[in-house]
Structure formats: structure tokens, C-alpha cells
Structure 1
């Protein structure tokens, strides 16, 4: 498909923004979503300047009415939905498990897990009817590893990976593929907040064989591949993009 219709949640920063730019360069028709109107309008303008058909639709993935409207407006604008990248996420409040609260749990799981559930629910509503489509959820190496001081975030990404595999089993009969991409440390605002400064980032860079922090565009290229027809026999897979971190 030369000009797929692509929906990206959490698109205003980091990996998702790099993914939107990469799709724009490939001529995709794009809907980008997030919670900040001004930043969203600026991103849509940037994508249109790159030659893409692009719209920003404000949505908060924690609220089903927002997600339902986001998907419906995407289909109203472009007639279909071919690829969805579910990237809205938060690191929550890092710290020991003994310092976590019901509020810190909910703040993380409502975005990372409930947001993924609601996004897939309404994306599949369209894709199953089309009998085609590709969904890519954004996980983390923490989705299949532990992480001291990040228990709630780790648990949320374990959940995203379990959801990805389970929904892939349900959706295959309809011609819909569901995969996840699991980045290692990537140079984003989320990593800056999580690492707590340059010393923390420098330490994280030592945890993979390449001894460096990854770049958002490196993850974006992996997303474009696994969402594409070049990966047509891949579903239920968690694709690590981590410089080899999970190999040892």
C-alpha cells in the first residue's frame, strides 16, 4: 500500500513524533493525536510541510469517548484505517515499590494499559470490518525484564506485551496483525526524566553492547517495518530495539 492511513497516539514527542515524521516522508496519510492542542497543530503543520496529508485530533487515551471519536474521525477523514501505532505512555513515578500508592499505580496503568486496551478496541472495530490492518503497541525492554525503582512502569509494560500477544491471537482470523516494539534506553524526554540527569543516562548507556543511547528515528524505522507488508507473516511478536541490551 503506497499511501496507508496511519493513526499515532502520543504523537507529540519522542519516538512517536519521529515515527510520524518517518511516515510523512513515505507519503502516508496521517492522524496524529495527543493532549496538547498547540503542539499538535504545530506537528500537523510540520507533517503537511513535508508533503503528507496530516491532521491532529486531540484525545486522551484514558477516556473511551475520546478514543472512539479519534478512530471515527480518522475514518471519516480518510475512509479507512490501515496502521495504528499506540504510543501514548508515561513513566509514572519512579521509586521503590514501598513508595508506590494506589494513585501512582492508577496514573501509570490508566495511560499505559487502559489506554492501550481502549485504543486496540476501537482500532480493531474498524480493522476487523475491513479485514485488514496492522497495530503496533509501544512497550519497553522493561516489558520482559525487571527494573529496580520502576516496578509500576515495569508491570504496565508487561501488561502491554501480554495484551499484544493475546489480541494478536484474536485478530489474526480477521487479517489484522498486532505486534509491539520494545525500545531500550532512547534519547527522549521520558528517558531524561527517568534517568534523573546525565550521570543516569551515561549509566544506562553501559547496559547494552553498543554502549550508547538509541535515537528515536532508530525505533521509528523498526515500527515502520513491523507495521508494513514486508512483515506480513509476523504477528504477536515483541520486537526489541535496544542495542542488544536484552541479549545478555
Structure 2
């Protein structure tokens, strides 16, 4: 085993969502690791050293296809990091967070080299996806953006919060695709972050309130940094994780583990944060 156990030097990688936050941190780290980094986002990226940057709007299938063709070539890793909070229109949240990201990934699949990795940012909001598998399978059965949006319009009430739905879909899609992709030596994983100290935090504060966000930060006593979320993404797509696929990894300082085992009580934590 060599010193470069992550193995990114000379690898060609694509980072969707590198304008700010976790995606920006991820792209910077990959450049520093010696990767050939091709960035994409609806807004420009401040990251120096990108091999290319392409404007892509995940709401628009034509923009996704054009961005894919503009970057061209093959890839060794995909980092799917773009996302919208609930302050945006519900259909757009579902589209950017899942439908558009899935379409982007599907276009790249034929051009992923053997041993490639795909990682997508989900959320702790998607951790209960296994309890809604019937709904997940119905939603994911829609093959494209247009049909997925139409399904959501017709099923919005029972689908519930669009952000939660989209993140649950990411997790279910990740697990469902893993066995088939492994036949080509391609891995696919997701991460489930707790709240991150990024510009998007103000949107989550507007939706959830300080007490809920404070409760989700309780395990560590603070929000995570973009770098703390970016490095697990890099690990999952690295050579060091060559036998890891179909994993939905909580990156939350132990919060979900505490909730699952009863060590932590979310409602009690919210009550305490409200009182404070």
C-alpha cells in the first residue's frame, strides 16, 4: 500500500455544486490532492485550479445534457453536492435534490471508468427512507424529470415535505443501484450530514427554527464545517473505500446513533433548546 492511499492524483473527477459550502470545500480539497477537477453549478465557482467549470441548471434537462457534453470525456469519480432547502418551490426542491441529480448521474454512467465512485449528499432528513420503501419505489419509478415532477404534483400531500422526500429518495436510490453498478466495478454511496455552517443554514433556520437546529447540533455542541462534510465524500470515492458501496453514511458527530439507540431524545433536546 503506497503513501497516496486516497489515490486521487491524476484522476478525472466531476463536482456538481462547487459554488459554495461543502461543494466548494470538496473541490478545493480535490485540487490539492492532485485530481483533475471539473466543476459544475448554476452559479460560478470561486475554486482556483479547476480544469473546467460549466454552468448547469439541475432544473432543466437540456441544461444538464449540455453541461454533460461540455465537460465530455470519462470520469473516475462523481461528487453530487448541489441541493435546495424548503424555502424554494416544492417541485424545484424535489427536482434539484433528486430528479435532476439522478439524470446528471445517469448521463455519466456510460463514461465512468472501472473502479469509479459516485457519492451524493443526502441529509439526516432522509434517514427514515427504509420505512417508506413503497412510496420511494413508486416515486423512483418515474424515469425522468418531467414524469417525476408530475408524480410529485399528483402526490404531494402523501409524499410530504419535499426536502425529506428528495433526501429519502437519494438514500433509497443509492442502496438500490449499488449491486448493479458493482458488476462494473463502480461504487455508489451517500452521506447524511447534520446541519452545516454554510450560507444555506439561514434557510433551514427559517424553516425549522433555532430550537430544532440547536437540537441537531447537540451531539457535538456546534454545527459541522463544510470541510468536515467534504472529507467523508472524498473518502467514500477514494481508493481507500474500494469495497464500500450502497452506504448511507451519517456525518453527524454521533447524533443519529444516539437517536437510534435511545441515548438521545430529540424531542427533549428541542424542548431544552427552546427553554434556553
- Alpha-carbon distance in structure 2 between the residues aligned to 1:206 and 1:161: 23
Larger-gyration structure (1/2): 2
| 2:28 aligned with 1:7 | no
| Residue of 138, 154, 157 corresponding to 2:121 | 138
Q: Using structure 2 for the length normalisation, give the TM-score.
A: 0.74
Q: CA deviation at 1:160?
A: 0.8
Tell me the residue number matched to 2:135: none
Matched pairs, number: 220
Q: Do the aligned partners of 2:195 and 2:223 also contact (CA within 8 Å) in 1?
A: yes
| Structure 2: gaps of 5 or more residues | 1-6, 130-159, 260-276
> Quick one: structure 1 residues 62 and 132, their matched pair in 2 at CA, closer, same or farther if it must change by over 3 Å?
farther
Deviations 1:173-209 (A, max 9, x none): 1111000011101101111211139x94575233332
| Residue of 16, 24, 33 corresponding to 1:17 | 24
> Quick one: structure 1 residues 73 and 134, their matched pair in 2 at CA, closer, same or farther if it must change by over 3 Å?
same
Alignment of 1:124-203 (within 5 A): 124-127=109-112, 130-145=113-128, 151-196=161-206, 200-201=209-210
Tell me the residue number matched to 2:78: 84
> Quick one: structure 1 residues 194 and 3, their matched pair in 2 at CA, closer, same or farther if it must change by over 3 Å?
same
Tell me the residue number matched to 2:215: 206
- What SS is found at the alignment partner of 2:75? coil
- Alpha-carbon distance in structure 2 between the residues aligned to 1:234 and 1:153: 26
- Alpha-carbon distance in structure 2 between the residues aligned to 1:71 and 1:4: 18
Q: Do the aligned partners of 1:181 and 1:240 also contact (CA within 8 Å) in 2?
A: yes
- What SS is found at the alignment partner of 1:160? helix
RMSD: 2.2
Alignment of 1:210-225 (within 5 A): 210-225=220-235
| Structure 1: gaps of 5 or more residues | 95-103
| 2:59 aligned with 1:69 | no
> Quick one: structure 1 residues 65 and 135, their matched pair in 2 at CA, closer, same or farther if it must change by over 3 Å?
same
Q: Using structure 1 for the length normalisation, give the TM-score.
A: 0.81
Tell me the residue number matched to 1:100: none
Tell me the residue number matched to 1:117: 102
Q: CA deviation at 1:158?
A: 0.3
